[in-house]
């Protein structure tokens, strides 16, 4: 299968350079969201020493519960803030042989989403196997920001993090692709309810990118494969049914033709006298 290219080589690129703490090489991070025709999809690329080491395309939204005052100004009721990932998010990235990270901040850093990736391997009876996965998601937000939080009670800064996450599991050397929406839960250690990260139209590769700005062969998620099967199965069944009908009609007509050429033997003995 041919690798998918972002088609960026012929377009002017605007680079933002950031040296992350503990990083031995300079990371070139690029927010290329403006190149996507989908207004909800963001595109981010991390390059190290002039070579792409992490690529991500996805649409993201965070559902954050928070409390507001009830009409009696005594009790509180729960509301939900729906916070989309900004296409203009400030990006930082970190690449490594076995660990990578993508950090996105927007609304003057009122919101920061961090995605962590881990590459693992093990020996099996068939030989060594390697794969990568998203092993951690962290979201920091400030409920005093008024665009999405309307009159929050006791506003302030909060941070939520996933627990024992193993998502987007993909064979090493491949990119992960999933058009269907996926939900990742970030439990809260405070009195707040869990935050939900909704991801859709995902294409991510945090390791082993062989060509600059080009995704490797895709590994489709199970949901997409099931939907594709559901779309093609009625067509296949229809073709099989049509073939069975054609064969049945052919056998029936062949049977009529063969029996028409046979001599009709009278069933009643009295009819024998009319023969010959």
Spell out the domain ranges in the chain: 16-218, 221-263
3-state class (DSSP) for residue 26 = coil
In the block, tokens 């391997």 appear at 121
Q: What is the pLDDT of residue 7?
A: 46
CA distances to 84, 246, 259 from 252, rounded to whole Å, are: 63, 10, 11
Tens digit of each residue's pLDDT, the chain (276 residues): 444 545 443 333 334 444 444 444 567 999 999 888 999 999 999 999 889 999 999 999 999 999 999 888 788 899 999 999 999 999 999 999 999 999 999 999 999 999 999 999 998 888 889 999 999 999 999 999 999 998 899 899 999 999 999 999 999 999 999 999 999 999 987 666 899 999 999 999 999 999 999 999 999 998 856 655 445 556 666 777 777 777 877 777 787 777 776 655 555 556 555 555
Q: Is 245 exposed, middle or buried (0-12, 13-18, 19+ CB in 10 A)?
A: exposed
**Residue 174, token pair as written in the block:** 């491949």
Q: Could you tell me which of 239, 242, 202 has the C-alpha nearest to residue 36?
A: 202
Q: What is the pTM of this model?
A: 0.74
The topology under which CATH files domain 16-218 is Porin (2.40.160)
Q: What is the pLDDT of residue 116?
A: 98
Q: Could you tell me which of 212, 182, 209, 176 has the C-alpha nearest to residue 196?
A: 182
CB distance 4 to 219 below 8 Å: no
Strands (DSSP E) contained in 70-206 are 76-84, 90-94, 99-106, 111-124, 127-142, 157-161, 167-171, 175-178, 182-186, 195-205
């Amino acid at each position: 299968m041919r690798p998918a290219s972002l088609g960026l080589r012929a377009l002017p690129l605007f680079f933002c350079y950031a040296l992350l703490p503990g990083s031995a090489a300079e990371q070139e991070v690029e927010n290329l969201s403006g190149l996507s025709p989908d207004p909800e999809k963001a595109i981010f690329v991390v390059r190290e020493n002039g070579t792409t080491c992490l690529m991500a395309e996805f649409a993201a939204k965070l559902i954050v519960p928070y409390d507001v005052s009830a009409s009696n100004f005594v009790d509180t009721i729960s509301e939900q803030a729906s916070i989309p990932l900004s296409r203009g998010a400030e990006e930082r990235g970190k690449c490594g042989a076995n660990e990578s990270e993508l950090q996105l901040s927007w609304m003057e850093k009122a919101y920061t989403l961090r995605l962590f990736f881990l590459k693992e391997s093990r020996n099996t009876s068939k030989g060594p196997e390697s794969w990568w996965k998203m092993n951690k998601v962290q979201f920091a937000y400030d409920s005093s920001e008024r665009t999405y939080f309307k009159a929050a009670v006791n506003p302030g800064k909060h941070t939520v993090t996933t627990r024992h996450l193993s998502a987007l599991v993909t064979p090493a050397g491949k990119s992960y692709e999933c058009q269907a929406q996926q939900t990742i839960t970030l439990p809260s250690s405070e009195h707040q309810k869990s935050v939900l990260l909704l991801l859709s139209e995902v294409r991510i590769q945090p390791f082993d990118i062989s060509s600059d700005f080009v995704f490797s062969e895709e590994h489709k998620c199970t949901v997409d494969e099931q939907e594709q099967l559901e779309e093609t199965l009625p067509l296949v069944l229809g073709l099989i049914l049509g073939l069975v009908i054609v064969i049945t009609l052919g056998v029936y007509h062949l049977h009529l033709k063969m029996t028409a050429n046979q001599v009709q033997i009278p069933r009643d003995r009295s009819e024998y006298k009319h023969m010959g």
